[in-house]
Amino acid sequence: MIEKKVQDNSGSYRDSVATISKEGKRNFINPKKPKGRLYNLRTWFSIFYLIVFFTLPFIKVHDEPLFMLNVLERKFIIFGMVFWPQDFFIFGIGMLTFVVFVIVFSVVFGRVFCGWACPQTIFMEMVFRKIEYWIDGDSNKQKQLREMPWNAEKTRKRTLKFIVFFVISFIIANFFLAYLISMDKLLSYLQHPAQNVGTLISLLVFTSVFFFVYWWFREQACIVVCPYGRLQGVLLDKNSIVVAYDHVRGEPRGKHKKEEDHDCKCVDCKEDGACKSINDKLAEVQPVKTHGDCIDCFACVRVCPTGIDIRNGTQLECVNCTACIDACDAIMTSVKNPKV
């Protein structure tokens, strides 16, 4: 559960992870469903991505799959080009080039890949999370459901979610295996399951791993496991594009109080705006804001899938999903301030 925190100037948030409590237990995050132009864009991008992911294993070039990374037979096919072990130096050079590209890309664009193109995030946020919103409801309903004792409603929702998550994990595992051994081989194995028990066992192992990741492990994959995520600290510099809070605009944050935030000062005499009611000729008064634009509503924290408060600064947990931008845009629109 995301705890409501006060402004943290101590930097202590850098010594702990939002998803792990002080006692070392898991803080399960139930982010609020994001809404907004960037979330819509991500949804469209994810649809395209999923179509590509589920279509590629069926495409063949010269009777070979377009992509195959068959580690067991040491046969790799990339864009229809076959690489054998003796071609490994080409593969090695290709991988080194790819790593350099990833480093240079991250220095310039930050972690945008994580939030917008990583299969982990796409499946988590755009497939499993959407199903969870559909079955369990939005953030508050999910928390209520978790805390309520087992009853008919909880049993029904948990069973439905378990079945749907497991079936999708099984489908992903099949396609994952198709990328390793080719779709033709996978289909032929599945037609004769009795003779291919080993394949079925590996399918169940893959399915269980995917199920565990999307059912329970979730954002921990990005925070504590993914090496790319762990490298962010050395890949970013002050010119990298990151999702960040505008301190100059936002601070000092605080609740919007009309009388205080829009205290009138006369442009001529700089006296208190009380003269406005006395002399209409001095009606040309300007609002003087005593607060920044952040109204401390925590909307950006509630939608964050990694549970952080981006107002504390760039943090390793941030996957640049931009959900907080959409949340703050909605708040800024409602208080008649410019969008982020």
**DSSP secondary structure letter of residue 138:** S
Shortest spacing between CB 116 and ligand SF4, in angstroms: 10
What mask, x for binding ligand SF4 by CB under 6 A, covers residues 252 to 291?
Answer: -x--------------------------------------
Nearer to ligand SF4, 178 or 243 (CB): 243
β-strands 285-288, 263-266: how paired?
A: antiparallel
Show the CA angle centred on residue 119, arms to residues 146 and 36, nearest 5°.
Answer: 65
243 contributes a contact to ligand SF4 by CB under 6 A: yes
Contact, 329 vs 246, CB < 8 A? no
Select from 263, 248, 337 the least CA-distant residue to 297: 337
Nearer to ligand SF4, 203 or 308 (CB): 308
Distance from C-alpha of 168 to C-alpha of 127, rounded to nearest angstrom: 9
Helix (H) or strand (E) holding 263: strand 263-266
Nearer to ligand SF4, 140 or 333 (CB): 333
306 contributes a contact to ligand SF4 by CB under 6 A: yes
Contact, 325 vs 38, CB < 8 A? yes
- Choices 41-49, 157-165, 202-210, 324-332; region in contact with ligand SF4 by CB under 6 A: 324-332
Nearer to ligand SF4, 213 or 295 (CB): 295
250 contributes a contact to ligand SF4 by CB under 6 A: yes
Q: Which of 172, 178, 300, 316 binds ligand SF4 (CB under 6 A)?
A: 300
SS3 content of the chain, % helix, strand, coil (to 5): 55, 10, 35
Select from 38, 109, 58 the least CA-distant residue to 326: 38
Shortest spacing between CB 319 and ligand SF4, in angstroms: 5
- List, as one string, the DSSP characters of 71-124: TTTTEEEETTEEE-GGGHHHHHHHHHHHHHHHHHHHHHHTTHHHHHT-HHHHHI
Nearer to ligand SF4, 142 or 320 (CB): 320
77 contributes a contact to ligand SF4 by CB under 6 A: no
Sign of the alpha-carbon torsion through 317, 319, 320, 321? negative
Shortest spacing between CB 303 and ligand SF4, in angstroms: 6
Shortest spacing between CB 173 and ligand SF4, in angstroms: 27
Q: Which of 64, 235, 298, 313 binds ligand SF4 (CB under 6 A)?
A: 298
295 contributes a contact to ligand SF4 by CB under 6 A: yes
Q: Which residues are at the interface with ligand SF4 (CB under 6 A)?
A: 243, 245, 250, 253, 294-300, 303-306, 308, 310-311, 318-324, 327-328, 331
